[in-house]
A and B are shown apart, each in its own frame.
Chain A
Amino acid sequence: GNSVTQMEGPVTLSEEAFLTINCTYTATGYPSLFWYVQYPGEGLQLLLKATKADDKGSNKGFEATYRKETTSFHLEKGSVQVSDSAVYFCALSEGGGATNKLIFGTGTLLAVQP
């Protein structure tokens, strides 16, 4: 079945460091791919998405490119801030976008130190 694998955390970085969180997926068909962010005590917020191969999603300085050849959707940011500390979830959408039934990775905790 479909699945998402993302790198385990925690990831601890200093402010202004470069961030990469790896995400790979297994899916039949052509899923949409997402990154969600969860701040402490809150629900998930959509960070960015990509709906087809070679699409690049971007938001708030974060980027991820839908790579069909490597089945990956790695999250990157050039310069992290303390306020980026959160748990980041990679997800794919089954049903070709017709529904929002998402399969999530296990999440990666990012801790940014001043």
Chain B
Amino acid sequence: NAGVMQNPRHLVRRRGQEARLRCSPMKGHSHVYWYRQLPEEGLKFMVYLQKENIIDESGMPKERFSAEFPKEGPSILRIQQVVRGDSAAYFCASSSPNSPLHFGNGTRLTVT
């Protein structure tokens, strides 16, 4: 019974490139959350999605960041024109209604 799967585990991008982070929720889960963990800090909420809908994106930076959770396939967090300050660990978590979150192992993005 696979858990939340994130890929890649590590991603290196040069400044100005695009980063695409993928998340496949646990089987049966229809809710996906993305969190960002900056060095020496706790996790910060970014966005909450259900299938084909963004429910809450109050934690997303206004520019360069976008997220989707299509009807088929994984959820994607996309960062355009990356900058050094985007270097962080990005965690996806999934749940079903009224159940606790299950986290993936994260994607560690390094911008050089």
Q: A46-B100, A100-B33, A100-B100 are in contact. Are A89 and B43 (CB under 8 A)?
A: yes
Q: Which residues of A contact B101 (CB under 8 A)?
A: 44, 46, 100, 102
Interface string of B51-77 (1 = CB under 8 A from A): 000011000000000000000000000
Asked if A31 is at the interface (CB within 8 A of a chain B CB), the reply is no
A107 to B35, CA, bound (A): 14
- Which label, helix, strand, loop or mixed, suits the secondary structure of the B interface? strand
CB closest chain-A residue, reference B104: A43
CB-nearest residue of chain A to B106: A43
**Interchain CB contact under 8 A, A41 and B100:** no
CB-defined contacts of A49 to chain B, threshold 8 Å: 100
A48 to B41, CA, bound (A): 21
For A, the interface residue count at a CB cutoff of 8 angstroms equals 21
Q: Tell whether A42 is near chain B: CB-to-CB under 8 Å.
A: yes
Residues of B in contact, count (CB < 8 Å): 25
Instruction: Please judge, given known A-B contacts A89-B43, A106-B40, A106-B42, whether A101 and B105 are in contact too, CB under 8 Å.
Output: no
For B102, list chain A residues within 8 Å (CB): 46
> Is A103 positioned at the interface, with any CB of B under 8 Å from its CB?
yes
Q: Please judge, given known A-B contacts A99-B48, A100-B101, A102-B101, whether A44 and B42 are in contact too, CB under 8 Å.
A: no
Residues on B with C-beta less than 8 A from A89 are: 42-43
Interface positions, chain B 14-68, Cβ under 8 Å from A, are: 31, 33, 35, 40-45, 48, 55-56
Q: In the complex, what residues of B have CB within 8 A of residue A103's CB? A: 45
A40 to chain B, nearest CB (A): 11
A42-B105 in contact (CB<8A): yes
By a CB distance below 8 angstroms, the chain A residues around B56 are 99, 101
Chain A positions within 8 Å of B35 at CB level: 102, 104
Q: Is A113 part of the contact surface with B, judged by Cβ < 8 Å? A: no
- In the assembled complex, the CB of B94 is this many whole angstroms from the nearest CB of chain A, namely 9
Chain B residues at the A interface, C-beta cutoff of 8 Å: 4, 6, 31, 33, 35, 40-45, 48, 55-56, 91, 93, 95, 98, 100-106
